[in-house]
Structure 1
Amino acid sequence: MIEIVEVTADNIQDKGFFCMRSKPKTEGYQRKQEWLLRRFEEGLKLKIIEEDGYPRGFMEYTPIEFAWRGVTGENYLFIHCLWIVGRGKGKGYGKQLLNDCIEDARRSRKSGVSIMTSSQTWLADKSFFTKQGFELVDQTPSGFELLARRFDDSPVPRLVHGWEERAAGYREGLTILKSDQCPYIQDAVTTIVEVAQERNIPIQVMDMESSGDAQHAVSAYGSFNVIYNGKLLTYHPVTKRELYKLLDQA
């Protein structure tokens, strides 16, 4: 049996939130759980698709006014994550989750649904969404693409440009701007701090406390940013080896 289960404050202890479900005692998992409990109050929804009771994927979305990406807009739902893994791939589960979100948006009288994609790592590729009626409405030279499925003629969402100028304000050493939107971020921070110490690079770690902080961060991804000497180094977790390479190329 295939079932879409909504995770709420009442069942999160039982259902979890898909990512890192095998490591519920880790700091990253605990921080994400607390983050979700606050975001539920803002209208965020997290839904897991289960096959015979086993989770195969999930979707996280929120009113765009509270999105943790570098976007701005009104009366849209914004998808943070849509992820199907392992044996769940190729069975249409992603489409089922997306359609569930679209129907939620219609019931809520939203003007549409939006998502950020990228040809790079850590975000979905746009091809799946364009096949479902999404269109490109904004993009960056670095490969981020903002897509929207419109229901009416209201203004579409846009990216909050100006990332390079904002990054230039963090001039010395490494700066990590982080949130708890992704449970893998905490381990990534530990890795980056270790590398900074090994190379004697000054480092500061700064928490983003609100969706507004993420919307006006130094990358379109918003919720995680690593800046080195005034320039964005990465927006997603990397291994030590990958980080060494990025620093050597900077």
Structure 2
Amino acid sequence: MEYIRVTNENIEKEHICCAISNNNDIQVSSKKEWLKERFDDGLVFLKSEQRGKCFIEYIPAENAWNPIVADGYMYIDCLWVAGSFKGHGYGAELLNICIEDSKNKGKKGLCILSAAKKKPFLADPKFLKYKGFDVSDEADNGIQLWHLSFTENALLPKFKECAKHPHIDEMGYVLYYTNQCPFNAKYIPVIENIAKEKSIQFKSVHLQNKEDAQNAPTPITTYALFLDGNYITNEQMNDKRFLKLLEK
């Protein structure tokens, strides 16, 4: 497989994989704007040359939009292989490219979010274990920080205290999110309108800078939904999923 590195020079013409749609759609434009502002922070977005969901996105952990302490590590935002690309070893291929690039940049290792059992939109723990990753920290809600260290004496990545115990004081539904996930731009206004129509207490907190994201009360910042102070899910909601959740 041949891969293309998306940069500020080619981002307008390149398809960004996780949003297969017209470049004028809000989810595409919001994701591309988010990426463009991260490239100077060292973010790498590498995708298959063919149109489809096959890509890896990673950034120096000091600049990650997550409440972690992992100085000298590279943080993988997303490693995504889906559809016809699955089962061909492309995930391992992309990870190996990331490992080699990170070593060349003098990094101590890699880190990534997962859980003991596979969760939507998180790395598969079985794959991570197979590739030599280990758990270095775990939050109260079961979200884990996995690492692959390149040296024996490297300090292990860990969550900040604010993320170790995901809980907030506000009642009702509270959603923390960023524009890293392109579908937030499309679906968050949809569920906000549903909550308003049904008189459901709902508040969305749009994390718009690295500092706020690194001090969020949740290890997952792309999408973290709370209810009456308790974390309930990182799974993006469309109208049907949200209505089903409300029925419960």
What TM-score comes out, normalization by structure 1 length? 0.89
**The 10-residue stretch of structure 1 (136-145 or 147-156) with the greater mean CA deviation from structure 2:** 136-145
Correspondence 1:5 to 2:9: no
Tell me which residue corresponds to 1:99.
96
Tell me which residue corresponds to 1:117.
114
Tell me which residue corresponds to 2:196.
197
Kindly state the Cα deviation for residue 228 of structure 1 after the two structures are TM-superposed. 2.7
Identity of aligned residues (%): 29
Superposition pairs for residues 20-31 of structure 1, below 5 Å?
A: 20-31=19-30
Kindly state the Cα deviation for residue 55 of structure 1 after the two structures are TM-superposed. 4.4
Superposition pairs for residues 111-150 of structure 1, below 5 Å?
A: 111-118=108-115, 119-150=118-149
Cα distance in 2, alignment partners of residues 205 and 146 from structure 1: 25
Correspondence 1:158 to 2:162: no
Tell me which residue corresponds to 1:15.
14
Question: How many pairs are equivalent?
Answer: 245
Kindly state the Cα deviation for residue 227 of structure 1 after the two structures are TM-superposed. 2.6
Cα distance in 2, alignment partners of residues 131 and 21 from structure 1: 30
Counterpart of 1:111, as a letter, is K
**The 10-residue stretch of structure 1 (104-113 or 229-238) with the greater mean CA deviation from structure 2:** 229-238
Kindly state the Cα deviation for residue 156 of structure 1 after the two structures are TM-superposed. 1.4
Q: Structure 1 residues 242, 54: closer, same or farther in 2, change over 3 A?
A: closer
Cα distance in 1, alignment partners of residues 18 and 93 from structure 2: 19
Tell me which residue corresponds to 1:88.
85
Secondary structure of 2:174's counterpart equals: strand
Correspondence 1:48 to 2:51: no
Tell me which residue corresponds to 1:246.
245
Kindly state the Cα deviation for residue 66 of structure 1 after the two structures are TM-superposed. 1.2
**The 10-residue stretch of structure 1 (130-139 or 154-163) with the greater mean CA deviation from structure 2:** 154-163
Cα distance in 2, alignment partners of residues 164 and 229 from structure 1: 18
Q: Structure 1 residues 163, 111: closer, same or farther in 2, change over 3 A?
A: closer
Task: For residues 229-250 of structure 1, give each alpha carbon's deviation from its aligned partner in whole angstroms, at most 9, with x where no partner exists.
Answer: 322233231233432343454x
**The 10-residue stretch of structure 1 (100-109 or 235-244) with the greater mean CA deviation from structure 2:** 235-244
Cα distance in 2, alignment partners of residues 188 and 236 from structure 1: 12
Cα distance in 2, alignment partners of residues 55 and 202 from structure 1: 37
Cα distance in 2, alignment partners of residues 3 and 107 from structure 1: 20
Contact 2:141–2:165 (CA<8 Å) still a contact in 1?
Answer: no
Contact 1:176–1:189 (CA<8 Å) still a contact in 2?
Answer: no
Cα distance in 2, alignment partners of residues 56 and 222 from structure 1: 21
Secondary structure of 2:110's counterpart equals: strand
Cα distance in 1, alignment partners of residues 8 and 240 from structure 2: 38
Contact 1:219–1:235 (CA<8 Å) still a contact in 2?
Answer: no
Contact 1:164–1:231 (CA<8 Å) still a contact in 2?
Answer: no
For structure 1, the residue ranges without an aligned partner over 5 or more in a row are: none
Q: Structure 1 residues 244, 128: closer, same or farther in 2, change over 3 A?
A: same
For structure 2, the residue ranges without an aligned partner over 5 or more in a row are: none
Cα distance in 2, alignment partners of residues 143 and 188 from structure 1: 25
Q: Structure 1 residues 54, 196: closer, same or farther in 2, change over 3 A?
A: closer
Tell me which residue corresponds to 2:66.
69
